[in-house]
């Protein structure tokens, strides 16, 4: 039998998470509106709001006077209520961000590499976490509420694509990065597949209007994905649901290939190198790429064809409402990729299937580190 006090404490924490989730989703709200939306009594909401305000998680807005009665005071999330570290380990670079309670990136550290190794990842995480923590005033440093890690799973499966020695990638097989970071930094650490984390970031921090069920595709060095069902991230049995890179699709020659062979920035890198052109600009910045149109257009069209086939497969299996496409690339190229995927989708044989919307993601290059930071945020403060 449960201890009554424990049960009441759990209920109170659940209600606090509910309130914080509503404020994150809808922005500042007065207590009366929160009571209406949650079905909680006005007294219960007042107690919750007072506790959250005392904890520094909420801030009072400007009173809004109505026609009658006392003015209502909207309550909002306090930017400095909590902070989170988000670490992204990528195939060509690593990045750590410091994110506040509103989801704003306060600062970041980036290190480029030819391929990732556990030793280098830990070394970067140590220095980046120390430097980012020191950017906060001493009084706010205890408010760092955890670290999230976004990491490609099964890195040892593709050493050749990285130009990496097999032994370097094999080191990841037995590496428990989450436990190592938790031991070094003394805070709770969460770990998620990088593409799944990017999907979670769109749910928590994104600005695009999203349906309840959708597939999220993130085009980085390899394409990856995430699944959202009933407005919740569906990670799967081993945290690798929506592993789009491994999905079989038709290749340009009519044979079968994995989607990562059609819809990945690695293909664009290979095209540049094949012509003797530098490819490091792809990874040094996602804000502007200097790529000849004769290489960029075929890459976009080929990637779009693969993504469209993936969208049809997901629609047939799960009856999703939309596919969100984001990635490490300039916004103008992302727009072209979404438009091209929409055209390719309309060319597919979709007999017996409902329509599907193609939606442009809103976070771009920041999706994976933000998704990492969202892991401790969601675990501690959201429903």
Q: 41 with 9: CB under 8 angstroms?
A: no
d(Cα 209, Cα 78) in Å, to the nearest integer? 24
Beta-sheet pairing, 105-112 with 232-234 = unpaired
Measured from the Cβ of residue 55, the count of other Cβ atoms closer than 10 Å reads 12
Nearest-angstrom CA–CA distance, 368 and 225: 11
CB neighbours of 366 closer than 8 A, spacing ≥ 6?
Answer: 97, 105, 201
Whether residue 191 contacts residue 87, with contact meaning beta carbons closer than 8 Å, is answered with no
Threshold 0.85, pTM exceeds? yes
Beta bridge pairs of residue 345: none
Measured in degrees and rounded to the nearest 5, phi and psi for residue 84 equal -140, 145
Burial 133-169 (b: 16+ CB within 10 A, else e): beebeeebeebbbbbbbbbbbebbebbebbebeeebb
> Other C-beta atoms within 10 Å of 279: how many?
18
**Ordered per-residue pLDDT tens for the chain, 383 residues:** 333 333 445 556 899 999 999 999 999 999 999 999 999 999 999 999 999 999 999 999 888 776 555 668 999 999 999 999 999 999 999 999 999 999 999 999 999 999 999 999 999 999 999 999 999 999 999 999 999 999 999 999 988 888 899 898 999 999 999 999 999 999 999 999 999 999 999 999 999 899 999 999 999 999 999 999 999 999 998 888 999 999 999 998 999 999 999 999 999 999 999 999 999 999 988 999 999 999 999 999 999 999 999 999 999 999 999 999 999 999 999 999 999 999 999 999 999 999 999 999 999 999 999 999 999 999 999 98
What's 81's DSSP letter?
S
Give the per-residue pLDDT at 161. 86
**What is the set of domains in the chain, with CATH numbers?**
4-77 (1.10.10.10), 83-198+369-381 (3.30.420.40), 208-361 (3.30.420.40)
Spatial CB neighbours of 243, under 8 Å, sequence gap ≥ 6: 153, 193, 195, 224, 225
């Amino acid at each position: 039998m449960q201890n009554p006090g424990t049960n009441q404490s759990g209920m109170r924490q659940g209600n606090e998470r509910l309130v914080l989730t509503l404020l994150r989703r809808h922005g500042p709200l007065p207590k009366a509106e929160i009571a209406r939306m949650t079905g909680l009594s006005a007294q219960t909401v007042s107690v919750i709001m007072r506790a959250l305000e005392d904890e520094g998680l909420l801030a009072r807005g400007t009173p809004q006077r109505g026609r009658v009665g006392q003015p209502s005071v909207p309550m909002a999330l306090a930017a400095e209520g909590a902070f989170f570290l988000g670490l992204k380990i990528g195939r060509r670079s690593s990045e750590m961000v410091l994110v506040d309670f509103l989801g704003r990136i306060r600062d970041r550290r980036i290190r480029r590499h030819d391929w990732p190794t556990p030793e280098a990842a830990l070394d970067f995480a140590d220095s980046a976490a120390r430097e980012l923590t020191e950017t906060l005033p001493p009084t706010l440093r205890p408010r760092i509420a955890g670290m999230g890690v976004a990491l490609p799973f099964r890195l040892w499966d593709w050493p050749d694509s990285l130009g990496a020695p097999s032994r370097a990638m094999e080191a990841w097989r037995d590496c428990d990065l989450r436990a190592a970071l938790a031991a070094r930094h003394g805070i709770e650490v969460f770990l998620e597949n990088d593409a799944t984390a990017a999907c979670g970031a769109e749910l928590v921090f994104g600005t695009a209007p999203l349906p309840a069920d959708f597939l999220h595709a993130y085009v980085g060095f390899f394409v990856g994905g995430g699944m959202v069902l009933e407005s919740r991230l569906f990670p799967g049995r081993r945290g690798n649901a929506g592993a789009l890179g491994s999905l079989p699709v038709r290749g340009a020659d009519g044979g079968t290939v994995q989607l990562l062979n059609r819809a990945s920035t690695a293909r664009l890198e290979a095209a540049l190198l094949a012509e003797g052109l530098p490819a490091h600009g792809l990874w040094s910045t996602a804000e502007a790429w200097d790529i000849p149109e004769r290489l960029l257009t075929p890459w976009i069209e080929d990637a779009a064809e693969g993504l469209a086939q993936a969208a049809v497969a997901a629609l047939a299996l799960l009856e999703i409402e939309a596919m969100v496409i984001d990635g490490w690339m300039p916004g103008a190229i992302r727009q072209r990729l979404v438009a091209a995927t929409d055209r390719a989708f309309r060319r597919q044989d979709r007999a017996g299937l409902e329509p599907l919307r193609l939606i442009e993601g809103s976070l771009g290059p920041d999706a994976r580190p933000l998704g990492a930071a969202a892991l401790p945020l969601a675990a501690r403060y959201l429903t």
